[in-house]
Structure 1
């Protein structure tokens, strides 16, 4: 299990990866300083060893708290309080949308945030009920519960347990590698698409009306139609725009909590001028009361199969969403997270939600930027937000009664604006056009189809990009240029000396099923184009990191084709692990030891013989 140790965001070696203001791809995260690499202390144990480091890999949040800096406290507390104003309404809304009582949305917010603060590696990722999961949960809960709220709670809780177990197992199985499939341009495209989607989703609330969501671009069309039809609530819009302007004006200040000031100001304005009654401004209203209690969700035997299927489905969705979001925010905050531990943290949070009257949860692409923009430094932000919600439920359910939804929309819009990446995309457009258009394709996928299908599209594009590079790799015939050490591509050095009767051929990729035939064709083409009759082909195999069965068979076929012409196939600089594979495939015995040379110079000397 040693390989499971998550990256330490406070480690100097990790901090060295990105130390310049633009190391994360163009700009530092809004409101963030570079994290201090100080306070490097080991967690003591009773025996004076460093076993604490071993157990702390499973609880990265605790490791952060043990090295907590006092200067972060104010940022985390303010960000947590601001975050709480977002968590309450969306938690209730997503619970109802999932077919459960609204109070379950708050339970599914409080407990997961506390658990993730211990097991989650990301310092600012916010977990909770998510709109992307609501349709899947509703599809299971609604037909099985028959409208019974207690049965709906049990079904939702069991789905969370299934989802949590799947995610924990995925993390332990180290399936977090899926995040490595996403290049920087693809991540930019995804995040830009998310930013646009979040912004569009909040526009109806900002204008004071509602539309039926059918997709980001179709929603934008519906919003335009509603505005032209005169459905705008001008009082709500004024409050929202005032909130947005305040946030944007104070965004550059690290001392003044612009979001908190804007939200409090909007709440006071609505109450003072009675905008809810006089101008029909939508407000949050009174909160339901009660704290979550531990309970084992019990379901009927007939419910097991659909709950298992639904739980696995939401696990897949939250896996994809959290992986991409966590990786993107790690780059923005100049930290590193272990994607496998991210899955463990997400799974633990889902398990906790299932045992405390919650339902499946995921990371949030709308609430996480709120925490970021408010100045969150560590997981303490989520703890403060969870405790604030619990306190509201206990002692002050009417405290946020007059909070206007247009002000909440302004908070999210301000955060979405900060997500857009433009500067570094300009650089990518200048130096690598095709990667720029990959980014635009991912952006369009999210904007047209939504966040989750957009993630799937991003992963598919990334896999195609990887396979294309391996399918049609670069290859070269080598010669020795005058005045240049070593052997180089003759197309770049046309005057390079080529040894009579010898073709030096370099293949810059692993050999596998997709490119094995192309390899054979290019070697034969190099032989046919040789200026002198060929007696020997030496493959410069240093870039060949792997060989599969299909490629091994192609090598045997190539050897047969060359032997018919009286040409011997040899290899230079082949790595030992690849040689081991050739032994297993029987090719090493076929070729013999003499056909393998440790260097190109050795291969050339062997061909030329004693001088």
Structure 2
């Protein structure tokens, strides 16, 4: 039992192995981290359509839970800019945009519980591969679309007025109407733009300086000193959150469950990628399944304290690491600091301007966007560039959750496309190069009359075996005096039962035309399947060769042909 506890509750091991020498750095990193946790937690709560205080509750509880169940020493969890719009979309879909805050908080807590349970199940069932459902191109497109959606959604708050609108197009139209109607508040724009400039400039020129903290402090002090007259956060509720059971009506569960699936995939992908990046820096290995358990536990814990779904944060983790964090005690210090703020000084941030919170979110949105990656995809592979564009348009035009579904579907379809229509090559012998090579690359490569060397770069399965069959039939029709078709089978990693049936029929058809179907370099596990399917009772067992050279030598012995240059 002790071994199981140490495995699934890494916090126990962390306490046992903790060194006193780490304490000063963890304490300092925790204090520095708090300066980022508070404004971002409040801003991302509003991004999710929830009261700012819920962002602090969520940050505090999820940090404590991850310190117990999370395997990473430095990973920081909390409200996330990429999840905020998804949460808001789910809540609007369930109860509408005009629902009371308390009703939204209850639904968000239920959503967090669902996400947490899904992640726990994925972790215990070792389903970390689900993170691969989002390929890099579709992830780039999705995040760019998300960045644009967040930017447009926050601009009205930055400009000092409120705007509705459904989706990116509707929000853009409402933004334009508000500007045209003269609703823009110059003071709000000045405060918001000032905060945004401070964060972006310091983030680029002096990344160690907490630009978010500086922007928040200066703008909060400026409101009463200069009598700016902009919307502010107001005094936060005093005290710590009390445990409450998540509540949702039966009619809302279907909407919440659908949203929870999308949020789980994004959270899982973020967690694995962020954990991998920071583990590589420290020379540690990623425990993907335990990471899912850790973040799942954090979501479940947050759900009982008026919280909403959380994920890992690359920016906050980087801040903690730069500040010298050694263990998860850094996150615990951050959680305790937030608790002390709520107990002792809930009015400390009462003058924090709403445009500054909007600037915090916009700065995060800008960090999500990756235009150089789009340009790189265009240069490297046009197909994947258009996949990224499709994912971008899905998020921008249809909304965050449909865009998420489109991104996952496109990733899966792209894999299926590569299996369905894999690269195919006719091979020949090129002068001055060992082995056999693609005649597209070496058009002057020599061939043996009556022999086709063919490579099919995919497993033979139900989805592509007819493509394979049709190509061999084409050889039989067009190649004069064809006697052997040698399949360079090294890239064929599998043969399913549908493909086996088609191969049996194809071999009989080719034999009737006086053509032999021959395999070279077939992997042992694949060859064992061919034997199990009893294909060797149709395909001559002597027509399986360990190498292409062996197959070519056997053909030359049988026919006496010599290498010929293409005409």
- Provide the TM-score with structure 1 as the length reference: 0.77
**SS of residue in 2 equivalent to 1:591:** coil
Question: Which runs of no fewer than 5 residues in structure 2 stay unpaired?
Answer: 561-567
State whether structure 2 residue 147 is matched by structure 1 residue 177.
Answer: no
- The correspondence of residues 228-307 of structure 1 with structure 2, limited to 5 A, is 228-251=180-203, 252-275=205-228, 279=229, 281-294=230-243, 297=245
After superposition, the C-alpha distances for 1:233-266 in whole angstroms (9 at most, x for unaligned) are: 1222111122122223322214432221111010
Structure 2 match to 1:10: none
Counterpart Cα distance in 1 of 2:23 and 2:444: 62
How far 1:537 moved relative to its partner? 2.0
CA contact 2:55–2:79 (8 Å) conserved in 1: no
- The correspondence of residues 48-63 of structure 1 with structure 2, limited to 5 A, is 55=6, 59=10
Structure 2 match to 1:8: none
CA contact 1:318–1:362 (8 Å) conserved in 2: no
Residues 500 and 388 (structure 1 numbering): CA distance in 2 closer, same or farther, change over 3 Å? same
Residue from 355, 358, 372 that aligns with 1:423: 372
CA contact 2:59–2:77 (8 Å) conserved in 1: no
- The correspondence of residues 90-239 of structure 1 with structure 2, limited to 5 A, is 90-91=44-45, 94=48, 96=50, 106-120=56-70, 121=72, 123-127=75-79, 130-134=84-88, 136=90, 160-239=112-191
After superposition, the C-alpha distances for 1:477-496 in whole angstroms (9 at most, x for unaligned) are: 22223332112223433443
Residues 231 and 332 (structure 1 numbering): CA distance in 2 closer, same or farther, change over 3 Å? farther
State whether structure 2 residue 459 is matched by structure 1 residue 510.
Answer: yes
State whether structure 2 residue 498 is matched by structure 1 residue 553.
Answer: no
Residues 257 and 575 (structure 1 numbering): CA distance in 2 closer, same or farther, change over 3 Å? same
CA contact 2:41–2:78 (8 Å) conserved in 1: no
**SS of residue in 1 equivalent to 2:66:** helix
Structure 1 match to 2:563: none
How far 1:447 moved relative to its partner? 2.1
How far 1:347 moved relative to its partner? 1.7
Counterpart Cα distance in 2 of 1:357 and 1:474: 53
State whether structure 2 residue 33 is matched by structure 1 residue 85.
Answer: no
Structure 1 match to 2:490: 542
State whether structure 2 residue 525 is matched by structure 1 residue 580.
Answer: no
Residue from 404, 423, 428 that aligns with 2:353: 404
Counterpart Cα distance in 2 of 1:206 and 1:81: 21
CA contact 1:188–1:421 (8 Å) conserved in 2: yes
Counterpart Cα distance in 1 of 2:146 and 2:104: 31
How far 1:58 moved relative to its partner? 6.1
Counterpart Cα distance in 2 of 1:255 and 1:262: 14
Structure 2 match to 1:18: none
**SS of residue in 1 equivalent to 2:527:** helix
How far 1:230 moved relative to its partner? 0.8
Counterpart Cα distance in 1 of 2:370 and 2:277: 10
Range with greater deviation from structure 2 (422-431 or 218-227): 422-431
- Provide the TM-score with structure 2 as the length reference: 0.83
Structure 2 match to 1:4: none
User: Going by fraction, where is helix more abundant, 1 or 2?
Assistant: 2
Structure 2 match to 1:595: 543
CA contact 1:80–1:376 (8 Å) conserved in 2: no
Residue from 371, 384, 387 that aligns with 2:316: 371
Structure 2 match to 1:26: none
Structural RMSD (CA)? 3.7
After superposition, the C-alpha distances for 1:285-305 in whole angstroms (9 at most, x for unaligned) are: 11112323456x398xxx896
Residues 213 and 139 (structure 1 numbering): CA distance in 2 closer, same or farther, change over 3 Å? closer
Residue from 315, 322, 325 that aligns with 2:267: 322
